[in-house]
Amino acid sequence: MNTDVNFLQLIIATVLFFVMMFGIGFILNMLLKTTWFPIYLLVLILIPVYIWQTWDESRTFAGNFTAFTFVDILPIIGAGIGAYVSGATIRALRRGGYKMF
């Protein structure tokens, strides 16, 4: 039963990261008039901050990176997909003739 709850939490966390990054990316794209800024934000700021936050000084450099599991990586993949989808949505709206986006 405990693994079912953990799996459900993983699914909810991944969807939540997707929705949050899509929403933040969509708003940033509207305000800054950029298309792919949320992906750059994710890669240049959010992922390094996550790695720094989970860094353990007692482990080696390689040991820190091998300590990440599928549970750690899947929500970040969901956030990356959300960032990409927000850029693709803004691009489609601009091609559709919407001046606001």
- The model's pLDDT over 41-93, given as tens digits with 9 standing for 90+, comes to 899 998 899 888 888 888 888 888 888 888 889 999 999 999 999 999 999 99
pLDDT tens digits along 4-46: 768 899 999 999 999 999 999 999 988 888 888 889 989 999 8
- On whether the CB atoms of residues 8 and 71 are closer than 8 A, the answer is no
Q: What is the pTM of this model?
A: 0.84
